[in-house]
Chain A
């Protein structure tokens, strides 16, 4: 987090991003709903959500994007800018699950003064099931606009 930005020259295709672990709790899900002004009951009201045919309150899939953005920004460092982030959710995530985000560098380019790195990302839960895949990020390392 609080460390220098990675040196673009030192990044290689195949580099792994440090895994990021997230323990999912009802409290964190509630905090996310409040922070995004999204109060839909499927993320906290057990009776209501079972009435809709689900097993219980489940994670808002958008939170995965927040976790992946953190993983990439932590790895790249504070001077890097996340230009693109794309992710697909697979299956449901519930309170009590442990999510582990992974990533690997897949490409590098330097054109018109823009130093760019692409990464493939994915996330698994404590059972090894893929909960996010595919996912990818594009990161700019050159100076901010």
Chain B
């Protein structure tokens, strides 16, 4: 990417700082979502699939695998574009960004009847110069709430792009 294009991208991302996008799930999380994610990870903990087991450990029902609420885009509720991304999730970084990491905080277990609202905003945009050149970092913070407006989890994801 040449310097001009890089600066334009940085400006576009910086312009989104503080702007919030809200994704309102159209329906309950659903217990099969838990089972499908557990299968994908290969995590067959009965807390996520067996109600009686969950109850015997103090839960009212099965709970979601902890990271599911932060990983899923089932709340976005949009069609898919030609890159395979849900249209509602299109961003300035596009497909060139890579994941630097995530920081999750979990406040209470997520249950199948929860109807999630995800609130997403750009937290920070910055450039670092390393051995391999300039890297652009984009930090996005999402908070997840249930139908009682209780905070379920927060997620700060950091994506990066070689400029």
Interface residues of A (CB under 8 A from B): 1-2, 5, 22, 28, 31-32, 34-42, 45, 52, 60-63, 65-67, 69-70, 73-74, 78-79, 81-89, 143-145
Contact = CB atoms under 8 A, between A and B. Distances in A.
- Complex A-B, nearest 8 residue pairs according to Cβ-Cβ distance, in ascending order: A61-B99, A88-B101, A31-B40, A70-B43, A35-B40, A39-B84, A32-B40, A86-B103
A66 B67 contact: yes
B37 A36 contact: yes
Interface of B: 33, 36-37, 39-47, 53, 57-59, 65-68, 70-74, 76, 80, 83-86, 95-96, 98-106, 108-109
Nearest to A31: B40
A69 B48 CA distance: 13
Contacts of B67: 62, 65-66, 69, 85
A17 to B, nearest CB: 15
B97 to A, nearest CB: 10
A41 B94 CA distance: 12
Which of A5, A74, A87 neighbours the largest number of chain B CB atoms within 10 Å of its CB?
A: A87
B65 to A, nearest CB: 7
A86 B100 CA distance: 11
B141 to A, nearest CB: 13
A131 B115 CA distance: 34
Contacts of A61: 98-99, 101-102
A55 to B, nearest CB: 13
A41 B99 CA distance: 15
A87 B67 CA distance: 12
B73 A84 contact: no
A36 B99 CA distance: 16
Contacts of B58: 79, 143-144
28 contacts: A1-B44, A1-B46, A2-B46, A34-B40, A35-B68, A36-B68, A38-B73, A39-B84, A41-B83, A42-B95, A45-B84, A52-B96, A60-B99, A61-B101, A61-B102, A63-B41, A65-B104, A66-B65, A69-B43, A73-B43, A73-B66, A78-B53, A79-B58, A83-B105, A85-B104, A86-B101, A86-B102, A87-B102
